[in-house]
Amino acid sequence: MLDIGPIHRAEYELDSGQSDPVFIAEAPGRIHFLGEHGEPRAGLYLSAAIDRFARVAVSPRKDNSLRFFAADLGERKRTTLINLKYKREDRWANYIKLAIYLFSSLGYVTKGLNFTLAGNIPHQVGLASSSAIEVAAAAALKGLLKASLPDKDLPQALVRGEAEFLGREVSPVDYLVALNARKDHFLLVDEVSRGVTKIKSPFARYAMLLMDSRVPRVGVEEELKLRRADTRRGLELLAKRKQGTSFRDYENGDLLESMGDLSEEVRRRSLHVVEENQRVREAKTALEGGDLAEFSRIIFRSHESLRDLYEVSCPETDWLVKRAQELEGVAASRMTGAGFGGCTYTILKENIQEEYRRRMEDYERIFGFHPLVHEFHLASGARLIAKG
């Protein structure tokens, strides 16, 4: 990844001495191993930060101008403090502007700022690249401004900023992962309590690969809205029979007792959410106990549920997962992300990577899409990497 310190100084013609302070922070992308198609606003996730990062450098200006430079893209954007607002055409710069808005609303930003952005998180594949930019920008700004905002309050502050500045409701989960991750650890993230439990990875001699299927995705958000509507309907009907406020309050038997009230489609969606919550809990136990065989079964069952009950998989990703399952030495494989294409992840013994990649060569011949493979490791969370 680019060393943005010298790039930032060259872009804004800053002196290399301490009279021109430059603060640089980085934040990781993340992957969900389980849970992303659970209950909205009440999810349980098995996640981790990955060693793909967004880096943001910031330095002060003497005027009220805001300058943005994306070093990887060679693109520049600009605005002023008084005109700070979301602009669709500003794309990546909007995520940095969100961090400015956040600290401006707290009274910290009174002069202009220079920003440089670089990163190596693959985009549009569900690895939270935009959240990483927001967290990195916030961490860099916090250092420059000597702001007293505690890290534990930053996720909720960013959620509020998303609603007020970008006009969208988001989950705090990606921020919780980015700020709490630890190298070589999985994270169990509770969206309700905002709690994060760190679990040491038992996969020391394994590789982790992300396979981008390259399947074009059209109308994904509309399909996901339908599924979320089905789960809301399922929860409403379950609550009429047995008191509860979320799917965590119900078990498979409750769905069987309500079969006469639920349509088959609503029942399938609801069953996936109930069982996925349980799978996250079971995966935690399996990881803590080093039971790799049980963990493998949980992950494969989750993919089957996404395919058969929640119906967000597709033939291409199903093929990638099944092909991986057939190879001895593969511990887990499953789709990840929004679905209808996108990515699968595979955890496999290091010495069978070449055989895995060889077997995946049939994918392009069968489906006509050239997949991209990214190896990743479980990484630490956001940090300030240069100051002053």
Catalytic residues: 174
Residue 317 to residue 319: CA distance in whole angstroms: 5
d(CA 261, CA 197): 37
Distance CA 210, CA 215 (A): 14
| Encoded tokens for 140 | 């860099």
The single-letter DSSP state of residue 76 is E
**Coil, strand, or helix at residue 342?**
coil
Q: How far is it between the farthest Cα atoms of the chain? A: 73
Q: Are 371 and 356 in contact (CB under 8 A)?
A: no
| CA gap 310, 261 in Å, rounded | 19
What is the rounded CA–CA span in Å between residue 151 and residue 179?
A: 7
Taking the C-alpha atoms of residue 307 and residue 315, their distance in angstroms, rounded to an integer, is 9
Q: Tell me how long the chain is.
A: 388
Nearest 5°: the CA angle 285, 286, 287 is: 95
CA-to-CA distance for 360 and 343, rounded, in angstroms?
Answer: 14
Which of 22, 48, 342 has its CA nearest to residue 181? 48
Q: Which helix (H) or strand (E) holds 95?
A: helix 93-105
- Helix boundaries (H) for 12-107: 93-105
Of 47, 62, 147, 64, nearest to 99 (Cα)? 147
Q: Which two tokens stand for residue 219?
A: 């109308």
